[in-house]
Homo-oligomer: A and B are copies of this chain.
Amino acid sequence: MVRWEPGATDRLREAALDLYVEQGYDDTTVAQIAERAGVTARTFFRHFADKREVLFRGSEFLADGMVAGVRDAPDGAAPLDAIGLALESAAATLGVDHAYAKRRMSVIYANPELMERELIKMARLGDALAEALQARGVGPTEARLAAEAGIAVFRTGFDRWVAGPRGDDLAQVLADSMERLRALS
């Protein structure tokens, strides 16, 4: 019988992030993470497939929410307006824990392998958004351009939010980045 430890997922995530920041991602082992969290390595593997998944768990929720934002946009909404709703959904998912986001991104930017993983995640997100726009009747070229412009706004805005002070509202920073992109055109 597998015993379920309440809160172990959060404890493991906190312990992992602490260690990644303190001593680097590459030099951190699953055994160290488990020890810091006060559980066994076996328990770690009941919660995460490996030490990388600690940083990327939840990507599907983000993508699903953003795709739903596009899908549920009002009839006749312009492609970039639908993308704007996807960004609002992203802000609702990611905007709650500034300290966590800041530490997570510092670990990812310090490690080329993790940065690649993050890029792939963003590329998949772009594909999913383009597909959702096409399902609304947007042509394939416009759908891809709008989706990738949305990813550009998302990445630029998210990094600005992470670099900024704790009280900033992610939804607002993303909306401002979208406005700046529109103003460029």
Q: Does A110 contact B (CB under 8 A)?
A: no
Contact B185 A181 (CB under 8 A): yes
Contact B141 A78 (CB under 8 A): no
In the bound complex, CA of A119 to CA of B123 (Å):
8
Contact B145 A152 (CB under 8 A): yes
Residues of B within 8 A of A160 (CB): 141
Contact B119 A80 (CB under 8 A): no
Residues of B within 8 A of A144 (CB): 152, 156
Q: Does A66 contact B (CB under 8 A)?
A: no
Contact A78 B184 (CB under 8 A): yes
Say how far A143's CB is from chain B's closest CB, in angstroms: 10
Residues of B within 8 A of A88 (CB): none
Residues of B within 8 A of A152 (CB): 144-145, 148-149, 151-152
Q: Does A69 contact B (CB under 8 A)?
A: no
28 contacts between A and B (CB under 8 A): A78-B184, A79-B184, A80-B185, A116-B116, A116-B119, A119-B119, A119-B123, A141-B156, A141-B160, A141-B180, A142-B180, A144-B156, A145-B152, A145-B153, A145-B156, A145-B177, A145-B180, A146-B184, A148-B149, A148-B151, A148-B155, A148-B156, A149-B149, A149-B152, A149-B181, A181-B185, A182-B185, A185-B185
Residue ranges of A at the interface with B (Cβ–Cβ < 8 Å): 78-80, 116, 119-120, 123, 141-142, 144-146, 148-149, 151-153, 155-156, 160, 177, 180-182, 184-185
